[in-house]
């Protein structure tokens, strides 16, 4: 297809084994630019492993990862970030010894040249950190140590730090996990407000969070994609119901 814009993300036969376990079996999928994709699946389905393969925590044992037309299969994580991959983690990975503001400053600077900056953070960095804090509703906690945040606030900061990298492809790993019912709508609002041109990949168990957000849904099980399609079709799919009726009973 000459002239067509390459997809935001294309996985070609990607697999990852841990010893005898195929955490991700043989996954091929394509995420269009600006698409919002939900990734569903029971515990241990390989969803997080798939994210790790895209962000480069470890290389796949098979297949290729192509980002905006560029093969990034062998690139280190920081080079992938510089090419537009941003992500959050299922269990928040924050800098506990630093303040919310400094967490965001570090995140903001990562996307810019001059990463060894030996001058105090410029006013522009501080301002960018403030804007991000506002976007994830943490303005009132800028000076707080991250170790003193509530679980929900940590999840919000997770998203803020991922956004700070100005990603073109944002991957959110269970952003609503562990949030109280009161905190959930706050997060959904936050995700809805993300810019439309941003390509979004969201792992989420909570259908009420995932389905309204998604253009396309991918369902994984035992390391492989089992169903893919628009949310309307997914909800009624017998395979998905078989997986999720059981799951919902357990998780909530």
Partner 1 sequence: MSGGRPSPAALASVALLAALALLPLLIPPFWTANIFGRAFVYGIVAMSLTFLATYGGFVSLAQTMMGGVAGYVAAVLVPDSVPSLVGGVPYAAAIPVALLAATASGLLVGAVAVRTQGIYLLMITLALAVGFHLFAQANIAWFNGYEGIRNVVGPEVFGLPFRNTFVFYYAALGSAALLYALVLYVVRTPFGLVLQGIRDNPRRVSALGYDAALHRIAAFGLAGFIAGCGGLLVTFYNIGISPGSIGLGPTVNVLVMCVIGGLGHPIGAFVGALVFTLFDTFAADIYDRDRFNTLVGAVFLLIVLVSPDGVLGLAKRAVAPLRGRRRVGPAAGAAPNTGAPLAAEE
Ligand X SMILES: Nc1ncnc2c1ncn2[C@@H]1O[C@H](COP(=O)(O)OP(=O)(O)OP(=O)(O)O)[C@@H](O)[C@H]1O
Instruction: Tell me whether strands 216-221 and 36-40 are parallel, antiparallel or unpaired.
Output: parallel
Q: Which stretch binds partner 1 (CB under 8 A): 35-43, 115-123, 206-214, 226-234?
A: 115-123
180 binds, among ligand X, Mg ion, partner 1, none (CB under 5 to 8 A by kind): partner 1
Which of 74, 151 has the CB closer to partner 1?
A: 151
Does residue 60 bind ligand X (CB under 6 A)? Answer: no
The answer to whether residue 177 forms part of the interface with partner 1 (CB under 8 A) is yes
Which three-class secondary structure state does DSSP give residue 42? coil
3-state helix/strand/coil string of 159-202: HHHHHHCCCCEEEEECCCCCCCCCHHHHHHHHHHCCCCCCEEEE
Instruction: Examine residue 234 and tell whether it contacts partner 1 (CB under 8 A).
Output: no
Q: Give me 170's structure tokens.
A: 């944002």
Q: Does 48 bind ligand X (CB under 6 A)?
A: yes
DSSP code for 135: H
Choose which of 69, 178, 230, 246 interacts with partner 1 (CB under 8 A).
Answer: 178
Half-sphere exposure of 203 toward its Cβ, with a 13 Å CA cutoff?
Answer: 23
- Find the shortest distance in angstroms from Cβ 177 to partner 1: 6
Q: Which residues pair with 37 in a beta bridge?
A: 201, 216
Please identify, among the stretches 84-92, 107-115, 188-196, 239-247, the one whose residues bind Mg ion according to the rule CB under 5 A. 84-92
1 versus 120: smaller Cβ distance to partner 1: 120
Sequence-distant (6+) residues with CB within 8 A of 187 are 152, 155, 156, 159, 175, 176, 179, 209
Options 25, 27, 50, 102; binder of partner 1; rule CB under 8 A: 102
Residues 125-144 that bind partner 1 (CB under 8 A): 125
CB of 108 to ligand X, least distance (A): 28
* CB of 91 closer than 8 Å to CB of 111: no
Quick check: 199 binds Mg ion (CB under 5 A)? no
The interface mask with partner 1, positions 54-83, x = CB under 8 A, is: -x-x------------------xxx--xx-
For the chain, how are helix, strand and coil distributed in percent, rounded to 5?
Answer: 40, 25, 40
């Amino acid at each position: 297809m000459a002239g067509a814009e390459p997809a935001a993300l294309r996985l070609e036969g990607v697999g990852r084994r841990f010893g005898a376990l195929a955490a991700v079996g043989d996954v091929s999928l394509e995420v269009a630019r600006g698409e919002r994709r939900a990734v569903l699946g029971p515990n241990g389905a390989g969803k997080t492993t798939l994210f790790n393969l895209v962000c480069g925590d470890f290389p796949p044992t098979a297949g290729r990862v192509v980002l905006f037309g560029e093969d990034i299969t062998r690139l280190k994580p920081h080079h992938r970030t510089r090419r537009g991959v941003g992500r959050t983690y299922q269990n928040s990975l924050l800098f506990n010894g630093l303040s919310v503001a400094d967490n965001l400053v570090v995140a903001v600077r990562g996307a810019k040249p001059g990463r060894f900056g030996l001058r105090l953070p410029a006013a522009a960095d501080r301002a960018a950190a403030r804007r991000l804090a506002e976007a994830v509703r943490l303005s009132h906690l800028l000076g707080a140590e991250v170790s003193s945040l509530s679980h929900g606030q940590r999840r919000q900061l997770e998203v803020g730090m991922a956004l700070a990298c100005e990603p073109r492809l944002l991957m959110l790993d269970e952003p609503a996990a562990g949030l109280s019912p009161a905190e959930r709508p706050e997060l959904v609002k936050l995700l809805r407000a993300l810019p439309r041109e941003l390509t979004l990949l969201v792992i989420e168990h909570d259908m009420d969070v995932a389905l309204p957000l998604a253009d396309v849904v991918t369902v994984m099980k035992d390391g492989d994609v089992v169903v893919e399609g628009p949310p309307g079709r997914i909800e009624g799919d017998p395979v998905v119901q078989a997986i999720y009726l059981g799951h919902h009973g357990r998780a909530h």
